[in-house]
Amino acid sequence: MPVQPPSSSGVYLEESPDDHHWIRPVDSSTTAFVDFFARGPLDHPLVVDSYQEFVTAYGGLDARSEASYGIRQFFQHGGRRAVVLRVAPAEADRARAAMLTLTDGHEPLLTVEAHTPGHWGNELQVGVEVGDSQGRFVLVVRQVARLRGELRVVESEVHDDLSMDQDDPRYAPTTVTNSSALVHLVDHLLEDGGADRPLPELTAATVSDPATLRDPGCPGFRALTGGSDGGRPSALDLARGMPLLDHADETIGIVCIPAMANLDHGYGSVVGAALAYCRQRRAFLLVDPPLTVTNSADMAAWVGRHGALRDPNAAFYFPPLQVEDPLAAGRPRVVAPSGVVAGVCSRLDGEEGVWKAPAGIEARVRGATPVTELLDADQDLLNPIAVNVIRTFPRVGTAVWGARTSVGLDGRVSEWRYVSVRRLALMVEESLMQGLRWAVFEPNDETLWSRIRGDVEVFLHDLFREGAFVGATPREAFFVTCDRTTTTPGDISDGVVNLVVGVAPSKPSEFVVVRLRLRAGLSPR
């Protein structure tokens, strides 16, 4: 409808709908790690953006946790964002949180519980002193640990002006639980809440005094007890944990399970569950062969026995790496390579894009060396069977020296031969699935298909300009089809739109094709 010109001078505002929806590339370098950790929430993933955040939330390195070393290597090699899942073993061997019950002098009043399960909670101590006004108290929490042979207060919190009145804005269980990184409180007498409730029995008059707080031997504190780390998860526990990654509400691009490299049983079930997750969530699995496989002949034989593990969304890396272990006075420790490789992928994604192959001189490895020095003959044996090697060269150092998916064997035709091509396609698919959600309640007709084509073409053209595809023109770099040739009358009746996208990551006009089924024409309720 034409806009009528204003009848008088002045400033006029007219709103007009914008039919264009921007599709943003998802960050495909966010990496998930699944394993045992001595600290952190059980069966619920957390996002960490640095190694220090991992140390704070999960306790840092632990000799029982392969993933703790993998996460350290991930951030050292340029990793930017990790999703960490602490998997709980069976109930009989499940980790327990340390606790302490505070009384009013006679009856239980408050239970102080470590923020997360684990033996670490036994290092927590609690002190109670009188507040500045009537009906108020101060709760002091601190962690006392032995560092380099000496007891030290490594962390402390002072929660003052607390009340046991549930209607008070400083009600102790709510205030402490919401603000503490160490503990949470449980009220034993919720039904008896009121302004005249008794307070916790005092432990000392000066526990919040700085000198007292820093003294690890001060008698004015009581210790939490009963915390335990529990057992290490079995292969079944690791496999069952994979769907729990969805609770992070993050787009995960890479999956690492370094613990698989140390499994005595159930290796195939863990990789199978991880691959099922990656197919469903458009992620890529870095497969860690057993740490006991250290020469190229044994690796070739191992791959030959595990043909069922080959998948476009996975890649093998060999050999294991050797790092200095800070928990063992710098002595060497053999670790799985997936953490290093994920860090390299993340760094190159940020510097050049997911379409850059994570291999070669730019994929240098620092602070780690292969347990076996591979030669050209080793690479000639492993490269044709799609095993990516990590090698050390004069004047170059150690680097990832292969970029094939596990289906990229010589003599086998696959459009997903290379890691960079597959990860680029997965990024495009996930970006389109997220960016086209708006279509679900739109009429499933030519108008919708045209709008989808326009949005997708703008998205792909931006990637073309950044260097994601090859070709002198957009026509040589990508194509988009969404019309009556892809969506039949039956599809329309079923509320389905079929979208076909081709991109040329290697040669002009040689497209790898992804097909997406979108929901559309559904009435909102």
Whole-number pLDDT of residue 53: 97
Helix (H, G, I), strand (E, B) or coil at 327: helix
Tokens standing for residue 224: 């939490």
| CA-based max dimension of the chain | 86
The confidence score (pLDDT) of residue 5 equals 57
Average pLDDT of the segment spanning 136-165: 93
pLDDT at 149: 82
Nearest residue to 129 (alpha-carbon basis) of 202, 222, 213 = 202
Q: How does 202-214 read in b/e, with b if 16+ C-beta sit within 10 Å?
A: ebbeebbeeebbe
C-alpha span between 341 and 353 (Å, rounded): 15
Residues in the chain: 525
- This prediction's pTM: 0.90
Phi, psi of 190 (to 5 degrees): -60, -35
Residue 6 confidence class, pLDDT cut points 50, 70, 90: low
Report pLDDT for 18. 55
Task: Write the DSSP assignment of 96-163 as a string of letters.
Answer: B--EEEEESSSSEEEEEEESS-SGGGGGEEEEEEE-SSTT-EEEEEEEEEEETTEEEEEEEEEEEEEB
- Average pLDDT on 300-328 reads 95
Kindly report the CATH class assigned to 31-91+231-421.
alpha beta
Mean pLDDT, range 315-323, rounded to an integer: 97
Confidence of residue 190 (pLDDT cuts 50, 70, 90): low
The CATH code belonging to domain 438-519 is 3.30.360
Q: Average of pLDDT values for 111-129?
A: 96
Mean pLDDT taken over the chain: 92
Q: Where in the chain is the domain with CATH 3.40.50.11780?
A: 31-91+231-421
Proportion of the chain above pLDDT 70, given as a percent: 94
Phi, psi (degrees; rounded to nearest 5) at 410: -60, 140
Is it the case that residue 92 has pLDDT exceeding 80? no
Q: Report, as an integer, the average pLDDT of 452-468.
A: 96
* Calpha distance 99→121 (Å, rounded): 8
8-67: pLDDT as tens digits:
555 655 554 556 789 999 999 999 999 999 999 999 999 999 999 999 999 999 999 999
Which of the two residues, 307 and 387, has the higher pLDDT score? Answer: 387
Q: Write the DSSP symbol of residue 385.
A: G
- Report whether pLDDT(199) > 50: yes
Per-residue pLDDT, 100: 97
In the prediction, which pLDDT does 525 show? 47
Please write the tens of the pLDDT for every residue from 368-401.
Answer: 999 999 999 999 999 999 999 999 999 899 999 9
**Which residue did the predictor score with more confidence, 441 or 78?**
78
Confidence of residue 195 (pLDDT cuts 50, 70, 90): low
All CATH 3.30.360 domain ranges in the chain, comma separated: 438-519
Average pLDDT over residues 276-282: 96
Confidence of residue 133 (pLDDT cuts 50, 70, 90): confident
Tell me, what's the pLDDT at 1?
A: 45
Predicted pLDDT at 505? 94
Asked whether residue 466 carries a pLDDT value surpassing 60, the answer given is yes
pLDDT above 90 as % of the chain: 82
Q: Which residues contact 210 (CB under 8 A, 6 or more apart)?
A: none
Average pLDDT for residues 493-503, to the nearest whole number?
Answer: 95
What's residue 19's pLDDT?
64
pLDDT above 60 (res 335) = yes
Q: Are the C-beta atoms of 228 and 86 separated by less than 8 Å? A: no
